[in-house]
Structure 1
Amino acid sequence: MNLDSSEQPFGLLVTVGDSRIDASVAIQFKDRMRELTAGRPGRILLDLSQVDFVDSSGLGAIVAALKQLEADQTLELAALSPTVSKVFRLTRMDKVFPIHETLEQATGPRANAS
């Protein structure tokens, strides 16, 4: 599972470098997110712009990443493809996660969740 992270003025940016988050990488995703977010208070933005498929295991791994955060951390999602966005809407996870249409929207001066 290819996850890159960088400190940004708004917090931590985590970019998924794979096209799929599915059963074959779900555990790796969850473990890597734990490594990257441990001890980093504040906002965590997950850039999903390169992801074009998420199955139920992948969705579960993203939810698990949220659940393993500390009280002073938040997880937001950005740049979901239409297919991935549909998964979040159908499962109503769009009500659980702040979702931004673009990375620029999420990191700009008017970064309000949509």
Structure 2
Amino acid sequence: MSIPLEQSLTPTRIEAPAYFDVESVAAIKDQFDELLTQPSHKQSCAIEVDLGHTEFIDSSGIGAIIYLFKRLRRQERQLQLAKVHGQPKRILTMLKVDKAIPFVESGESA
């Protein structure tokens, strides 16, 4: 499974899968690790996870987002979630993820 990456000045955008669950997390965690370790990606001070096409998220998907958030914070970088809607928005808001990680429209700065 390939997750599309789009490098821009700020933020670097990664598109989350439609079903952000245990099956898709392994592939996206590899992408997250690349964003965290590759020098070309480290130039961006912010990462934006686009949830615009994400219809469903489970605890594995939430765990992957928290994993990325914590690693970025150690690097003094930011994470933002874009186009959060539907079931993912209900779950992430209920868990108060939006208090730590800003929800934005795509391309906005947090």
The answer to whether residue 27 in structure 2 is matched with residue 28 in structure 1 is yes
Distance 1:28 1:6 in 2: 16
TM-align CA RMSD: 1.8
Distance 2:109 2:6 in 1: 21
1:88 maps to: 92
Conservation of the 8 A alpha-carbon contact between 1:12 and 1:44: yes
The answer to whether residue 60 in structure 2 is matched with residue 47 in structure 1 is no
Distance 2:109 2:47 in 1: 14
- Identity fraction in percent: 25
Higher strand share: 1
Conservation of the 8 A alpha-carbon contact between 1:46 and 1:78: yes
Matches within 5 A, 1:1-114: 1-16=1-16, 18-38=17-37, 39=39, 40-41=42-43, 42-69=45-72, 70-100=74-104, 102-103=105-106, 107=107, 111=108, 113=110
CA deviation after TM superposition for structure 1 residue 31, in Å:
2.3
Higher relative contact order (CA 8 A, sep 6+): 2
Q: Which TM-score applies when normalising by structure 2?
A: 0.82
Distance 1:12 1:35, change over 3 A: same
Which digits, 9 at most, give the CA deviation of each residue in 1:27-58, with x for residues without a partner? 33222211133231401111111111000111
Distance 1:2 1:95 in 2: 30
Range moving further from structure 2, 55-64 or 6-15: 6-15
Higher helix share: 2
Structure 2 stretches lacking a partner, 5+ long: none
Structure 1 stretches lacking a partner, 5+ long: none
